[in-house]
Structure 1
């Protein structure tokens, strides 16, 4: 075990305090105490500082794992992309502190709408994503609508006697089952549906009509080890 007297742990402990995390319990410098400190720092590095949801790095890692799992197991999985509608107006009209309050409220609503096995992440300024393993296609629209409606119905406190309501647009796509695909292709499909939701008026959910059954040229290349432009019947 390293000598705790040699380690400079002040910055690590200060970071935990600043982010409102509990400090490690037990005898400072002991093996259990140091392991608890490492675990807390790892958890902190995987989360978005404003919302507490998974951050983009954690999301991308989980997305890669899930696309591989679906290819092996054939179980369905749904990816949802969410974007707060007209978020720039919130910042312009009420200020960035109000914008932060809106983002945190939306993140809380998302967290209340998903299962413990799902992964909800903040992947950009007002952009969120949810990975839903083992989500059958028959339930996809219902799940997405549950998230949308929970956010729409929430009154967000942004100041003394001041409340705002916001909406989100949601796009979703299912991972191709039994097919070796890539996280980027899955994300592109979900993003395309998000674009459709926004172009059709916002405050709505758009999912692919059916799970993707056609295999793209790129996915054929991944499956058979040929180039995407290869001639595969």
Structure 2
């Protein structure tokens, strides 16, 4: 066999390395402690990896879940509601006239307002609920197993607590802000999509803003409204077609 006839093997992939110093610096810059245990041990490495994974799902400014983590949770909740039929509510909240805060007081003041509103949201829900920052001044909350009356109570509690708070932004200045909140229930026993559920919640948010801001609007009942697109998803499914 000549050299040209020898079988060629693809080059081996370069080894995957974890840059420990950079990983530890990233944790430190985010205000997180180093992993406990003996540095370099299996347990220590696992804690470091777990911390980095958790960090990748957090919004840097507020510490809430980020948009990526929100999308993953949304998909899981849609699947759970479709199988269990339990009610689940999505709330979307937006800080009213936030652009004026930045224009008049600067972006540092805007960041303080966002942090303060994020703290109110996180303090107003159950441990099982997920609060996320999904945009500049936009937040979303997923509330599993949430009856309509409970969801309305939570949303109104958030609105009132934000309205009453005073945000210190330095130099002796304090700001008052408000939020508009919209909400929609996931269709029970129907496999919807994250985009459709979010769209229905956004419609309620837009209506709350159009009605004057600083208010809450939820879909009328927990007997979930099923949109045309969601009906199509149901009727086009393979399992349904089997019965036709």
The question of a shared fold, defined as TM-score above 0.5 by the shorter chain, is answered with yes
TM-score, structure 1 as length reference: 0.92
Q: Does 1:9 align with 2:34?
A: no
2:74 is aligned to 63
List aligned pairs for 1:97-112, cutoff 5 A: 97-112=108-123
Q: Does 1:135 align with 2:142?
A: no
List aligned pairs for 1:41-190, cutoff 5 A: 41-190=52-201
Does the C-alpha gap of structure 1 residues 129 and 214 become closer, same or farther in structure 2, counting only changes over 3 Å?
Answer: closer
Preserved CA contact (<8 Å) 1:91 1:98 = yes
Does the C-alpha gap of structure 1 residues 214 and 152 become closer, same or farther in structure 2, counting only changes over 3 Å?
Answer: closer
Instruction: State the Cα RMSD in Å.
Output: 1.8
TM-score, structure 2 as length reference: 0.88
3-state SS, counterpart of residue 75 of structure 2: helix
Q: Paired residue for 1:208, among 216, 219, 237?
A: 219
Preserved CA contact (<8 Å) 1:82 1:169 = yes
Tell me how far 1:213 sits from its aligned partner. 4.3
3-state SS, counterpart of residue 155 of structure 2: helix
What runs of 5+ residues in structure 1 fail to find an aligned partner? Answer: 1-5, 228-233
Preserved CA contact (<8 Å) 2:24 2:34 = yes
Tell me how far 1:225 sits from its aligned partner. 2.5
What runs of 5+ residues in structure 2 fail to find an aligned partner? Answer: 1-16, 239-244
Question: Of the two, which has the highest radius of gyration?
Answer: 2
1:231 is aligned to none
Give the whole-Å Cα distance in 1 for the aligned partners of 2:227 and 2:214.
30
